[in-house]
C-alpha cells in the first residue's frame, strides 16, 4: 500500500512514489504482453476492429490508445489498424447513460458495432467497473477476443478476459501510469514488428 504515512515534503513523496512505480512494474507478468500482442496483431491482420474503453483516467488512456494504435502503428508499416475508443463519444455516452443506464454505456456500443472476430481492450484499475465488466462479458459470449488491463486485485475483468495484464499495486496513480506504459509497449511493439524498410536505429519511437 502506498502511501502508508504522511509526508512533510514532495521530494520524499516523489522518491517513494517512483519506488512504488518501479516495484509494481517489475512485478507485472511479462508473458501476458506476448499473449496480448499476438492477439492484437492477429486482429489487425484479419482486418477486424479493436475496441477500447475505460472510465476517468482509464478513459483518457483508451482515447490515447486510439491515437497511438490508429496513427502510430501505421507509421513505417503497411498495416491499417481499425481502432475505436468507446470512451470518446461523449454525445452517445451521455445519451445511453441518461436514457438507459450508465452501466450500459460500453455494452450498448459494442453490441451495436462489434462483430465476431473483433477485439475489446478494457482498462480498469479495480477491474470491477460495472460498465466495463458488462462489456467484457458480452464480448466473451459473442466471439470477441478480450484483453483486460487491471490493478488492485484484478477484479471481475481479470477473470473474464482472454488476457489480463495486471499491475499489482493499490495506488490509482501508479496503476494508471503503468497502464499507460502497457498501452505504449503494445503499440510500439506492434509497429516495430510490422516495420517495412525502415532503420530501427534511426526511427523515432
What is the count of structural domains for the chain?
1
Decide if pLDDT at 198 tops 80: no
What region, left, alpha or beta, does residue 153 occupy, with left being phi > 0 and alpha being psi -120 to 50 degrees?
alpha
CATH code of residue 166: 3.40.50.10490
DSSP 69-98: IIIITTTTBS---EEEETTS-HHHHHHHHH
Pairing of strands 119-124, 163-166: unpaired
Residues 6+ positions from 119 with CB-CB distance below 8 Å: 39, 40, 43, 48, 49, 50, 51, 144, 145, 146, 147
Is the residue at 24 inside a domain?
A: no
Is the residue at 3 inside a domain?
A: no
Whether residue 189 is preceded by a cis peptide bond, meaning omega within 30 degrees of 0, is no
Task: Please write the tens of the pLDDT for every residue from 59-104.
Answer: 999 999 999 999 999 999 999 999 999 999 999 999 999 999 999 9
Is the residue at 46 inside a domain?
A: yes
- Quote the domain boundaries for residue 191: 29-200
pTM of the model: 0.95
pLDDT of the residue at 41: 97
Mean pLDDT, residues 37-60 taken together = 98
Decide if pLDDT at 182 tops 80: yes
Is the residue at 132 inside a domain?
A: yes
- The whole-angstrom distance between residue 93's C-alpha and the CA centroid of its chain comes to 19
Is the residue at 110 inside a domain?
A: yes
Is the residue at 193 inside a domain?
A: yes
Output the average pLDDT for the chain: 96
Is the residue at 98 inside a domain?
A: yes
Mean pLDDT, residues 16-21 taken together = 98
Task: Tell me which DSSP letter residue 68 carries.
Answer: I
Is the residue at 14 inside a domain?
A: no
Amino acid at each position: 500500500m502506498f502511501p502508508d504515512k504522511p509526508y512533510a515534503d514532495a521530494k520524499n513523496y516523489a522518491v517513494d512514489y517512483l519506488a512504488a512505480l518501479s516495484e509494481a512494474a517489475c512485478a507485472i507478468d511479462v508473458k501476458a504482453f506476448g499473449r496480448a500482442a499476438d492477439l492484437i496483431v492477429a486482429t489487425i491482420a484479419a482486418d477486424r476492429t479493436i475496441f477500447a474503453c475505460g472510465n476517468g483516467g482509464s478513459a483518457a488512456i483508451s482515447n490515447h490508445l486510439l491515437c497511438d494504435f490508429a496513427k502510430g502503428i501505421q507509421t513505417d508499416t503497411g498495416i491499417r489498424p481499425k481502432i475505436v475508443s468507446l470512451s470518446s463519444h461523449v454525445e452517445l455516452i451521455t445519451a445511453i447513460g441518461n436514457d438507459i443506464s450508465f452501466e450500459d454505456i460500453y455494452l450498448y456500443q459494442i453490441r451495436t458495432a462489434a462483430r465476431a472476430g473483433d477485439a475489446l481492450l478494457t482498462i480498469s484499475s479495480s477491474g470491477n467497473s460495472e460498465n466495463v465488466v458488462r462489456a467484457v462479458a458480452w464480448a466473451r459470449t459473442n466471439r470477441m477476443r478480450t484483453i483486460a488491463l487491471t490493478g488492485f486485485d484484478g477484479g471481475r475483468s481479470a477473470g473474464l478476459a482472454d488476457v489480463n495484464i495486471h499491475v499489482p499495486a493499490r495506488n490509482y496513480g501508479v496503476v494508471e501510469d503503468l497502464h499507460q506504459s502497457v498501452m505504449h509497449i503494445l503499440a510500439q511493439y506492434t509497429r516495430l514488428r510490422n516495420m517495412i524498410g525502415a532503420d530501427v536505429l534511426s526511427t523515432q519511437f
